[in-house]
Each structure stands twice: as C-alpha cells, then as structure tokens.
C-alpha cells in the first residue's frame, strides 16, 4: 500500500510503500483498551496515604473507666470510630499499580492505532525538516503549509493537534516547535499509543527509516 510523502511546503515529493502488517490491520478496540489501561496504570505513582490506628497521634490511655460511667466502653482515642482516630482500610503508598502487558500485545496495539489513523487520513509523511536556527515562526509556517495538503485543522486546532516524530534528534526542530502548545515533538523510538490517541495528527519525518524501524519490531 502506497501513500504520499510531502515536503515542508505541503507539496507532493514522492511516495512510500507501507507494509500491510503495520498499517493495514483491522481495528481491535479490546486489545487497544487493554494496552491503554496497562500503560496508564504503570504511570501511576499511588501517592495517597492514610494512617491506621497504630500510626495516628494519641495515647494508649483508656479515655474512661470500663464500667460505672454509663457510657459505652472504649479502649483508645485512636479508634477508627473516633474523630482523629485511625483510618480503616485506607490507601497506602505500598500499593502497586503496575499491570503486566506482553511486548507483542503492546506492539500489536501500536500497529492497530497506526492503521486506523492512516485510514482516517491522520498520518502525514514528511520527507525531511531542517532549520538553520530555532524559530517558532518557521514551525508555524510548516504546519500551515502541511494543512493545505488536506489536513485542514492541523494549523488551527488549539489543543492536541499533532505529534511530530523523527528518527533523528534535531535540536533546532525541537526548539522551534517547543513554544507551540498544541503539538508535541518526540523521538520515533518512543512512539506509543498514549500519544497517538491523545493527538489527532501524526507527523512522521524521515518516513523511510521510521517504517523500517516499525517493520523491525515484527521480525
């Protein structure tokens, strides 16, 4: 399956042959959801913490005598039923939120999301991007030019517009797009479904090497 490659002016600069095993998979919502839940859970820190009756401040002194006062018996003011007492079965930092996910499932989910984005026309292949100096205006011009190639809201969408990836680290490109809050730049090797589902468009710079990297995951 072939698709168009664009230059930074939004013009057709060639085509690339995409492997069906990466960009031609049917949608599998269950697998994508399972991987998404696992990845978000693994990012969770679990900082919520409470104290039980053995950890709260207070004495072991019995508040009043066991008998003869007419009141209910009580052994400690640290009891969970007392105000300021310990918490019963509350959250602690010892809880582990990690969820195991197989690497093959994780890669498969990534390919499924890429396939769906390609069918929806939300993947933009750009031959190369080179900037002599970091300049936000140049980054805006690139987005505006690519928008004219049929990706209408790429330059106008104010939130989560595009994820820009490249197999090579280019400091000038990173700094140029850094001031644009609606886009995110990331190394292609760090591509994941969390970012793909968050941002509408995926801009792949240097597509030949990027596709080769994806194909290597299968082998």
pLDDT digits (tens, 9 = 90+) for 167-201: 998 899 999 999 999 999 999 999 999 999 999 99
Give yes or no for residue 165 having a pLDDT over 80. yes
Enumerate the CATH 3.40.1370.10 domain ranges in the chain, comma separated.
Answer: 2-44+97-218
Do residues 47 and 92 touch, judged by C-beta distance below 8 A? no
Helix ranges (H only) for the chain are: 20-23, 29-42, 103-119, 136-147, 171-178, 193-198, 207-218
pLDDT tens figures, 78-111: 999 999 999 999 999 888 889 999 999 999 999 9
Q: Assign 217 a pLDDT band (cuts: 50, 70, 90).
A: confident
Helix, strand, coil shares, percent, the chain, to 5:
35, 15, 50
Q: Does domain 2-44+97-218 have CATH number 3.40.50.10860?
A: no
Rg value, the chain, Cα: 27
Assess contact for 110 and 190: CB atoms under 8 A. Answer: no
Distance CA 168, CA 209 (A): 9
Q: Model confidence at 60, in pLDDT bands (50, 70, 90)?
A: confident
57 C-beta neighbours (distance < 10 Å), count: 8
Residue from 4, 33, 5, 2 nearest 20 by CA = 2
**CA 200, CA 184: separation in Å to the nearest integer?**
11
Q: pTM for this structure?
A: 0.85
User: Across the chain, what does the average pLDDT equal?
Assistant: 94
């Amino acid at each position: 399956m072939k698709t168009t490659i664009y230059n930074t002016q939004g013009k057709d600069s060639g085509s690339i042959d995409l492997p069906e095993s990466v960009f031609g998979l049917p949608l599998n919502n269950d697998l994508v959801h399972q991987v998404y839940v696992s990845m978000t859970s693994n990012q969770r820190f679990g900082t919520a913490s409470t104290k039980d009756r053995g950890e709260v401040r207070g004495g072991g002194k019995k508040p009043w005598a066991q008998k003869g006062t007419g009141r209910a018996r009580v052994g400690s003011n640290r009891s969970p039923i007392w105000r300021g007492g310990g918490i019963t079965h509350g959250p602690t930092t010892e809880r582990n939120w990690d969820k195991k996910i197989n690497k093959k499932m994780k890669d498969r989910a990534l390919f499924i999301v890429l396939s769906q984005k390609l069918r929806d026309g939300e993947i933009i292949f750009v031959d190369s991007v080179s900037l002599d100096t970091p300049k936000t205006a140049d980054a805006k011009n690139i987005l505006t030019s690519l928008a004219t190639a049929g990706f209408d809201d790429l330059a106008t969408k104010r939130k989560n517009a595009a994820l820009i990836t490249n197999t090579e680290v280019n400091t000038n490109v990173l700094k140029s797009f850094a001031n644009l809050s609606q886009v995110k730049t990331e190394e292609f090797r760090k591509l994941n479904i969390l970012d793909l589902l968050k941002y509408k468009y995926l801009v792949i710079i240097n597509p030949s090497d990027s596709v080769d990297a994806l194909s290597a995951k299968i082998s």
